[in-house]
Structure 1
Amino acid sequence: MKKGFSLPLWVAGAARSALKKLVGLPFENYELIKIPNEKKEIKIEIHSVGLLKDDSHALGISFAKSGLELDITQNLEIWTIASLEKISSNNPVKTNHINIIAGSGVGIKEKTSEICISNFAKEVLYENLLDIIPEGFNLNLEIIFPNGEFLAERTSNKSFGIVGGLSIIGTSAETYSSASPQQLEEAKFNLAKLIQDDFKGKVVFVIGENGLNLANNYNVNLPIIKIGNWIGPLLVDAAIKKVKTVILFGYHGKLIKLAGGIFHTHNHLADGRIEILVYLAVREKLPLEIIVKLSHLNTLEDALLLIERFNKSLADRLFQNLSNTIEKRSFAYVNRYLKTDMEIASIIFDRKRKIRWSGNHGKNYISYFQ
């Protein structure tokens, strides 16, 4: 069952309301948002709208309602500030009629300072704003999340090179809990579609939007599917569908759970990351004082840095062992439910979005990520 609507729709609703106010159209407490490539509109509630700066700017405010209790953007306050810029007679041809600006609380890419926004979010904005922009003008649209920088500290954004606030991500209008059975069914359906046409037997599983973004940056010449936290059941589903190889491509803080036998990886259901690393450290016979320090840390990245400071080659060996254990435990998990020789490969990146480790099977596919 669909639970609510994704963040891009609420941003578009606030932006459309602000732009309408700017050009003199009456305020309504909702906007009908068109979904790209779909013949439907979704009603988005608008909190308020008003003119600013001698009526040259307009502010629209909405509150995101994803319908997901554990979603960090649930009830997120959204401000959009719209202003018009006359197209210069010296440069009358300009295809990009909307300049999307990252305001306070909106995440930007650390390396480029570009706003972190998905293609779907851009398409939603263009679909719902272009028809209101007066001829001869471009729209400057600043997006602000007043509480975004604080909320971003509770995410893994920095692990993916996103700083300053929350990303505007999402690839569909509806939202699903990554812990819900509906999300699992959607992922199964997407996998079935993916392997229909000219499938060569190999597929890449990535977890979440950030993992998908990184995989796409590498131009991986393999089918890629974004999965949620139902990794174990999806591995079994892949084996049932006769997939030959699944490449698990992910952040160490998520994939480490598989090494501990946790195959539904939502943090609210099971964590255990530090405990799993401590177990692996004992197997690698790290000094007791290092193991004790590891047990008191809160994040896997802090643990990695601690071990690297002690002995970098030992840290690499430990995380190499982690990669191999992920492959072995995943294979054993699938074979608990059906007999299969499906290959499971692991490729792991760190918080700087750099590929660092791979399992014995994963090494065979590193070349796809270059």
Structure 2
Amino acid sequence: MKKGFSLPLWVAGAARSALKKLLGFPFDNYELIKIPNEKKEIKIEIHSVGLIKDNSYALGISFAKSGLDLDVTQNLEIWTIVSLEKIFFDNPTQTNSINIIAGSGVGINQNTHEISISDFAKEVLYANLLDTIPDGFNLNLEIIFPNGKFLAERTSNKSFGIVDGLSIIGTSAETYSSASPDQLEEAKNKLSKLIKNDFKGKVVFVIGENGLNLAKTCKINLPTIKVGNWIGPLIVDAAIKNVQTVILFGYHGKLIKLAGGIFHTHNHLADGRIEVLVYLAVKEKIPPEIIVKLSHFNTVEDALLFLEGFDKSTAEKLFQKLSNTIETRSFEYVNRYVKTDMKIASIIFDRKRKIRWSGTNGNEYISYFQKD
């Protein structure tokens, strides 16, 4: 399997190198990055480092090597600017900490204006920086992706309310190609482990990183696995393993492909999202002039917003049809390969990360996904 290392490790490497330069350590062209909760370190190459702004700041630069040809972060240039801020001990609430700042090209949540960074990324930064921060100081860490704003246009960040650049996401140290057959084998192995102990017959397949982050805020309390683009074959594997119910939880822009019979969902293999929406609109007898306008949109979200502006009940009816079609087409797909009565449920959220629709089977489980 072709693999590399996730973005948080390259950010941590550049930041650690910059902090060491600020403290007077000699430059090394690599950093050994500790992985939280694992007894190993990963060697991360550092491009350069230097002092700036009257030597009170340091800049570290690295280039991400995800190992994935189709990944927008492959060869991403990363700048980290660090400075130390003295703690005033008459303020008992202050402790040694890291202030992570979203610089140019780094995504922020458009509602909270906070940096878009995963818990894993924060853990990596803390694990590799805290032990180097001098006592009595806090660390200010500004992260910059010089080309991040441009590259973000090639992602679905805006669909999830992330603007101005790339998110710093990732849930593990190593990266794997979601289009690789080996990625399917990895997912199958994870599923095998997931259903071993006291398994109740139901499993949640979360589609993508954004879906996983949203799932963590919900009261699911069911075995959950993040799946890549091999959704169809993994559902078949679940049937072979005698899983009783698979709950598909994801963004409408991804799950809609299943309604069109596309069960490997990587964009470089097949897209067809708007075409599927138009097909469903025809089935629902939506006025022809509206269908023509739907066909001109580039994203499912833009088409949804237009349709809601035209008539909310029509939009709701169409996306309910979508939810049901995902379930029926998925069931038909599985039964091409193995005869099963396994239930497939769909639960769908929109660009605002709001859970909006569920299929006939999904209605039974949507209460599991209510936020705290």
TM range (shorter): over 0.9
Alignment partners' CA distance in 2, 1:316 and 1:270: 26
One-letter amino acid matched to 1:11: V
Whether the 8 Å CA contact 1:2–1:174 is kept in 2: the answer is no
Which residue number in structure 1 is paired with residue 108 of structure 2? 108
Secondary structure of the residue aligned to 2:314 is helix
Whether the 8 Å CA contact 1:244–1:342 is kept in 2: the answer is yes
Which residue number in structure 2 is paired with residue 292 of structure 1? 292
Which residue number in structure 1 is paired with residue 190 of structure 2? 190
One-letter amino acid matched to 2:246: V
Alignment partners' CA distance in 2, 1:142 and 1:197: 43
How far apart are 1:91 and its partner, in Å?
Answer: 2.8
How far apart are 1:309 and its partner, in Å?
Answer: 2.1
Alignment of 1:206-285 (within 5 A): 206-285=206-285
Long gaps (5+) in structure 2: none
Alignment partners' CA distance in 2, 1:95 and 1:184: 44
1:88 equivalenced with 2:108 (yes/no)? no
Which residue number in structure 2 is paired with residue 35 of structure 1? 35
Count of aligned residue pairs for this structure pair: 370
Secondary structure of the residue aligned to 2:50 is strand
Secondary structure of the residue aligned to 1:217 is coil
How far apart are 1:2 and its partner, in Å?
Answer: 4.3
Secondary structure of the residue aligned to 1:33 is strand
1:77 equivalenced with 2:77 (yes/no)? yes
Q: Deviations over 1:152-192 (max 9, x none)?
A: 12111121122221111111111111111121112111111
Per the alignment, do residues 81 and 329 of structure 1 end up closer, same or farther by CA in structure 2, a change over 3 Å counting? same
Alignment of 1:118-129 (within 5 A): 118-129=118-129
One-letter amino acid matched to 2:118: S
Identity of aligned residues (%): 83
Tell me which stretches of 4 or more aligned residues in structure 1 moved more than 6 Å. Answer: none
Which residue number in structure 1 is paired with residue 148 of structure 2? 148
Per the alignment, do residues 237 and 94 of structure 1 end up closer, same or farther by CA in structure 2, a change over 3 Å counting? farther
Which residue number in structure 2 is paired with residue 173 of structure 1? 173
Alignment partners' CA distance in 1, 2:190 and 2:163: 31
Secondary structure of the residue aligned to 2:51 is strand
How far apart are 1:95 and its partner, in Å?
Answer: 4.8
Which residue number in structure 1 is paired with residue 99 of structure 2? 99
After TM superposition, the structure 1 stretch with the greater mean CA deviation from structure 2, 110-119 or 44-53, is 110-119
Per the alignment, do residues 26 and 188 of structure 1 end up closer, same or farther by CA in structure 2, a change over 3 Å counting? same
How far apart are 1:349 and its partner, in Å?
Answer: 1.0
Alignment partners' CA distance in 1, 2:311 and 2:116: 35
RMSD: 1.3
After TM superposition, the structure 1 stretch with the greater mean CA deviation from structure 2, 228-237 or 294-303, is 294-303
Q: Deviations over 1:233-260 (max 9, x none)?
A: 1101111111111111111111010011
Whether the 8 Å CA contact 2:96–2:136 is kept in 1: the answer is no
Long gaps (5+) in structure 1: none
Whether the 8 Å CA contact 1:202–1:246 is kept in 2: the answer is yes
1:320 equivalenced with 2:331 (yes/no)? no
One-letter amino acid matched to 1:114: E
Alignment partners' CA distance in 2, 1:101 and 1:193: 38
One-letter amino acid matched to 1:310: F
TM-score (norm 2): 0.96
Which residue number in structure 1 is paired with residue 130 of structure 2? 130
Alignment partners' CA distance in 2, 1:132 and 1:246: 46
After TM superposition, the structure 1 stretch with the greater mean CA deviation from structure 2, 327-336 or 221-230, is 221-230
Which residue number in structure 2 is paired with residue 5 of structure 1? 5
Which residue number in structure 1 is paired with residue 65 of structure 2? 65
How far apart are 1:318 and its partner, in Å?
Answer: 0.9
Alignment partners' CA distance in 2, 1:122 and 1:74: 21
One-letter amino acid matched to 1:368: Y
Secondary structure of the residue aligned to 1:69 is coil
Whether the 8 Å CA contact 2:97–2:138 is kept in 1: the answer is yes
Alignment partners' CA distance in 2, 1:198 and 1:110: 41
Secondary structure of the residue aligned to 1:267 is coil
Alignment partners' CA distance in 1, 2:114 and 2:200: 36
Per the alignment, do residues 139 and 350 of structure 1 end up closer, same or farther by CA in structure 2, a change over 3 Å counting? same
One-letter amino acid matched to 1:338: V
TM-score (norm 1): 0.97
One-letter amino acid matched to 1:253: G
Which residue number in structure 1 is paired with residue 55 of structure 2? 55
Alignment partners' CA distance in 2, 1:31 and 1:16: 7
Secondary structure of the residue aligned to 1:131 is helix
Secondary structure of the residue aligned to 1:225 is strand
After TM superposition, the structure 1 stretch with the greater mean CA deviation from structure 2, 184-193 or 245-254, is 184-193
After TM superposition, the structure 1 stretch with the greater mean CA deviation from structure 2, 34-43 or 57-66, is 34-43
One-letter amino acid matched to 2:136: G
Whether the 8 Å CA contact 1:203–1:247 is kept in 2: the answer is yes
Alignment partners' CA distance in 2, 1:282 and 1:124: 49
Per the alignment, do residues 109 and 210 of structure 1 end up closer, same or farther by CA in structure 2, a change over 3 Å counting? same
Alignment partners' CA distance in 2, 1:52 and 1:220: 48
